Amino acid sequence: MMRIALAGAGAFGEKHLDGLMNIDGVEIVSIISRTGEQAATVAEKYGARHSSTRLEDALARDDVDAVILCTPTQMHAQQAIACMDAGKHVQIEIPLADSLADAEAVLTKAEQTGLTCMVGHTRRFNPSHQWVHRRIVAGDLAIQQMDVQTYFFRRQNMNAKGEARSWTDHLLWHHAAHTVDLFAWQAGPIVKANAIAGPLHPELGIAMDMSIQLQSECGAICTLSLSFNNDGPLGTFFRYIGDSGTYIARYDDLVTGREGPVDLSGVAVSNNGIELQDREFVAAIREGRSPLSSVADVMPCYRVLHQLEGQL
């Protein structure tokens, strides 16, 4: 039995809990959240016997083997290190950190402890992107260009459920991290990276619009547009332009460039990228191996983000 605590029972915390409920041999033991009422409510919903507002309460328990962190970005690095100091395996929701120094500190701790430390780069697990990746690995597709749009309407500090956030999200360190890592995973190491940003929000102090250009060592290019100002279709849309086909990925779904559906049955045991991400975390711990999207695997992404931040 894999006994798991989850910290941060907000919109994405519940997505992880829903995924964990589908994995055999997993028990949700503890729920940590910002308020005791929310922690207790979510604990009751998912059958967890413990709830608290303090992560250290879960880390002190001998019936917790691993922790999933869905807490505010600014807390990720410190909390991940605390988990490993307590002897717990840890999965950190994307992003690993909001600075290169903090990301490297987590990597150092993971190397010192030998514990499983995984980052939630969900795009590596979405069946849509996995299908494309398998074609690339088989030599049936070479990426020429990726065109990516990450669009939200967040002129107020709200989460994915439309509820007020206690922290401020970030286009570069959070949302761009998905695409920077995915592009490198699909097209190879990034050798060029450029970024420009639009005006800062007068209250939140963050750029609400951003444009990023990337090039991999094979010559493939990526254009990424991000906005918190977009009042229209929301989410992230990935267009793969390859030498033998064009594909559009929308989270767990995939169509051709002409909107013909691509059959993803058989790609994985689930069509839910978050669940597949959690399955990989549990399997890596059980098998004593490095997970896909280990902290070491995704560090090149954070080095590129650091480089881009220096241009803004």
DSSP string, 155-197: SS-B-TTSPBPSS---IIIIIIHHHHHHHHHHH--EEEEEEEE
- Find, among 124, 5, 100, 140, the residue nearest to 62 by Cα: 5
- On the CB side of 208, CA atoms within 13 Å amount to 17
- Would you state the pLDDT for residue 164? 61
Give yes or no for a contact between 234 and 151, defined as CB atoms under 8 angstroms apart. Answer: yes
pLDDT, one tens digit per residue, over 226-259 is: 999 999 878 899 999 999 999 999 989 999 999 9
Cα–Cα distance for residue pair 126/247, rounded to 1 Å: 14
What domains sit in the chain, N to C, each tagged with a CATH number? 2-121+273-294 (3.40.50.720), 123-269+302-309 (3.30.360.10)
| Sequence letter at residue 30 | S
Q: What is the pTM of this model?
A: 0.94
* Exposed e or buried b per residue across 30-43, where buried means at least 16 C-beta atoms within 10 angstroms of its C-beta: bbbbbeeebbbebb
Confidence of residue 156 (pLDDT cuts 50, 70, 90): low
- Would you state the pLDDT for residue 232? 83
pLDDT, one tens digit per residue, over 84-105 is: 999 999 999 999 999 999 999 9
Cα–Cα distance for residue pair 35/44, rounded to 1 Å: 14
- DSSP H/E element including 33: none
Where in the chain does DSSP place strands (E)? 2-7, 26-32, 50-52, 66-69, 89-93, 117-120, 143-151, 190-197, 209-216, 221-227, 235-242, 246-250, 253-256
Give yes or no for a contact between 155 and 200, defined as CB atoms under 8 angstroms apart. Answer: no
Confidence of residue 28 (pLDDT cuts 50, 70, 90): very high
Task: Calculate the average pLDDT of the chain.
Answer: 95
Confidence of residue 24 (pLDDT cuts 50, 70, 90): very high
State yes or no: cis peptide before 72, omega within 30 of 0: no
Task: Write the DSSP symbol of residue 103.
Answer: H
Mean per-residue pLDDT, 128-133: 98
According to DSSP, the residues that pair with 138 across neighbouring strands are: none
Confidence of residue 158 (pLDDT cuts 50, 70, 90): low
pLDDT, one tens digit per residue, over 203-228 is: 888 889 999 999 999 999 999 999 99
Task: Say yes or no to pLDDT of 167 above 70.
Answer: no
φ, ψ for residue 149 (rounded to 5)? Answer: -120, 125
Task: Say yes or no to pLDDT of 165 above 60.
Answer: no
